[in-house]
């Protein structure tokens, strides 16, 4: 590394340490919520019971120290206030902390809002074209997976989604093995920065600040560097190859959308190029890892519940080529919209998979909540199981029943509410959820039209009970050939 880069790292990391130290040392307000001393093994191995019992005893808001940091947990009666009062509880500040991105985000505060807008205006209006573009990626990859019979579903979903995102973000010309590898590494490494694999590391559990520094330096020197040095020159040539005058023609990819948006006098300069590359990296992080993990959940649950296969296959029957038996990309958007069974199956998987501390906000000042005052600069998490497994919202909440989302109570998988928060809630609810659920549908269909998923021993293992969505379950998945004829 050059001395300048070393200097930037040292300065950023010192700032990060100073901020963490200052946050930890600040005195708590007098009427702070009760601080619960939770045994570490309960918090990591049995988080649902541990947090629910603590809230039952001391609720509705408690403070718990996790990995050395004091966090606040609220029950379902206060979730809405936390997730929707943006003045008091900041999404951006929380993300900056969770991603250990504070030094960077302090300089580029519009980062999260710009990615949000990018998805809302650069992706969502083009979804039906995008589905037809990326559907063949899923069909091709499913065919390869079915040939192997025994599949690492996470690896399979991760590389399919990475390839689909390359087509969507950069364009089909970028889809090659080298770029896919870089995108997979970026998605995995940035996901790692959120601490999702921290629970399995001794350093991460006991020395979180050192862990964050080591992880950031490692990721910056590997996948982030590869992203800039391998994909960077291709993007640079692309954005410099022509003028970007809004209104000239429609953007064919997210990169082109951003080029039109950031061009000055029709040209992209070096600073705009760096900004575009950073936004695209953020988009890759947001779009690949989580979706791949949920795909594993959905396929595993289908394998565990073969009684649903008939209805799931019937929905796609008319969209399968009668000769090749491939899922047909033309009009796949229409099929996606009408697939009530698969949609409710996905919704039920996302409701029941057992997340605990999935979404959070950060206090922007000393904030009054209920009868307590929460100190400035702390993370506040609604306990998701009290929402998703709450009998007041979902009768017989632990029973897996996709049919509960049919008929009068019909709710699409993407519809957030205060009783369903896998995609978050409020102003910052996931803007990519329609794309995510549609990708999951295309991947599931590409598999089940040609194979029946089965889990060896009819079982899977949850790897990290505290990070159920982000760290996918493990199991040996077998794809047994199936034919409609
Ligand atoms: C099944 C897959 C996915 C899940 C479970 C998921 C879940 C979430 C959650 C929980 C949040 C935070 C919301 C909050 O705190 O209220 C979020 C934010 C976000 N998600 Fe997703 N997401 C998924 C896929 C995607 C995809 C495919 C994209 C991009 C196309 C995407 C883009 C984003 C962005 C940009 C944010 C930041 C919030 C914002 O800018 O508004 N997500 N997601």
C-alpha dist (Å) from residue 391 to 60, 153, 229, 238, 395:
17, 32, 52, 54, 5
What the block records as the tokens of 182 is 């870089």
Query: What domain range is 35 assigned to?
Result: 3-481
User: Is the CB of 187 within 6 Å of ligand 1?
Assistant: no
Cross-strand partners of 70: 65
What sign has the CA pseudo-torsion 232, 238, 240, 241?
positive
115 ligand 1 Cβ < 6 A? yes
The enclosing domain of 341 has a CATH number of 1.10.630.10
Residue with tokens 């979730």: 79
From the list 319, 320, 345, 322, the residue with the least C-alpha distance to 334 is 319
- Does residue 174 line the site of ligand 1, with CB under 6 A? no
For every one of its 485 residues, what pLDDT tens digit does the chain have, with 9 covering 90 and above?
444 555 555 556 556 655 555 555 568 899 999 999 999 888 888 999 999 999 999 989 999 998 788 999 999 999 999 999 999 999 999 988 887 776 666 667 788 899 999 999 999 999 999 999 999 999 999 999 999 999 999 999 999 999 999 999 999 999 999 999 999 998 888 877 776 655 556 666 667 777 777 777 888 888 889 999 999 999 999 999 999 998 777 899 999 999 999 999 999 999 999 999 999 999 998 999 999 999 999 999 999 999 999 999 999 998 888 888 889 999 899 999 999 999 999 999 999 987 888 899 999 999 999 999 999 999 999 999 999 999 999 999 999 999 999 988 899 999 999 999 999 999 999 999 999 999 999 999 999 999 999 999 999 998 888 888 778 999 999 999 998 77
| Ligand 1 center–CA 74 separation, angstroms | 21
Protein residue with its CA nearest to atom 1 in ligand 1: 291
| CA 428 to ligand 1 center in whole angstroms | 8
C-beta of 431 in contact with ligand 1 (< 6 A): yes
Cα–Cα distance, 67 to 203 (Å, whole number): 10
Mutate to test the pocket of ligand 1, among 286, 420, 468, 472 (most ligand atoms within 8 A of CB): 286
Q: Confirm or reject: Cβ of 297 under 6 Å from ligand 1.
A: no
- 430 marked ligand binding residue: yes
Which value does ipTM take for this structure?
A: 0.98
Pocket test for ligand 1, best of 301, 342, 430, 435 (most atoms within 8 A of CB): 430
Residue 435, ligand 1, Cβ within 6 A: yes
């Amino acid at each position: 590394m050059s001395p300048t880069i070393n200097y930037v790292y040292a300065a950023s990391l010192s700032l990060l340490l100073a901020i963490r130290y200052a946050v930890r040392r600040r005195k708590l307000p007098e009427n702070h919520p009760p601080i619960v001393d939770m045994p570490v093994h309960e918090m990591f191995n049995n988080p649902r019971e541990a947090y629910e019992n603590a809230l039952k005893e001391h609720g509705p808001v408690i403070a718990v120290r996790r990995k050395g940091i004091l966090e606040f947990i609220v029950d379902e009666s206060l979730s809405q206030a936390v997730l929707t009062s943006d003045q008091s509880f900041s999404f951006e500040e929380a993300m900056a902390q969770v991603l250990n991105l504070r030094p960077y985000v302090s300089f580029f505060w519009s980062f999260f809002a710009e990615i949000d807008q990018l998805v809302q205006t650069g992706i969502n209006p083009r979804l039906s074209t995008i589905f037809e573009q990326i559907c063949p990626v899923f069909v091709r990859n499913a065919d390869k997976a079915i040939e192997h019979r025994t599949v690492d579903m996470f690896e399979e979903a991760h590389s399919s989604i990475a390839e689909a995102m390359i087509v969507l973000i950069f364009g089909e010309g970028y889809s090659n093995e080298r770029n896919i590898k870089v995108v997979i590494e970026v998605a995995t490494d940035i996901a790692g920065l959120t601490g999702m694999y921290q629970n399995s590391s001794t350093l991460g559990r006991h020395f979180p600040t050192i862990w964050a520094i080591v992880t950031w330096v490692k990721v910056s020197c590997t996948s982030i560097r590869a992203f800039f040095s391998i994909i960077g020159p291709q993007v640079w040539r692309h954005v410099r190859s022509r003028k970007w005058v809004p209104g000239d023609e429609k953007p064919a990819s997210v990169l082109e959308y951003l080029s039109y948006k950031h061009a000055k006098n029709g040209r992209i300069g070096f600073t705009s190029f760096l900004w575009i590359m950073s936004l695209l990296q953020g988009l890759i992080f947001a779009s690949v890892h989580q979706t791949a993990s949920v795909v594993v959940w959905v396929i595993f649950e289908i394998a565990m519940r073969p009684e649903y296969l008939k209805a799931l296959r019937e929905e796609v029957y008319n969209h399968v080529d009668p000769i090749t038996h491939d899922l047909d990309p033309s009009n796949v958007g229409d099929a996606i919209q009408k697939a009530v069974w698969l949609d409710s199956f996905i919704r039920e998987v996302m409701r029941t998979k057992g997340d605990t501390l999935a979404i959070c906000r950060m206090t922007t000042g000393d904030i009054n909540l209920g009868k307590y005052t929460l100190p400035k600069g702390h993370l506040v998490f609604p306990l998701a199981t009290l929402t998703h497994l709450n009998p007041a919202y979902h009768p017989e909440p632990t029973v897996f029943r996709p049919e509960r989302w049919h008929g009068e109570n019909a709710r699409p998988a993407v519809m957030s509410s205060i009783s369903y928060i896998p995609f978050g809630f409020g102003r910052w609810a996931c803007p990519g959820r329609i794309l995510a659920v549609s990708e999951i549908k295309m991947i599931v269909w590409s598999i089940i039209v040609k194979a029946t998923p089965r889990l060896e021993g009819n079982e899977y293992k949850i790897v990290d009970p505290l990070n159920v969505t982000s760290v996918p379950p493990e199991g040996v998945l077998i794809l047994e050939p199936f034919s409609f004829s």
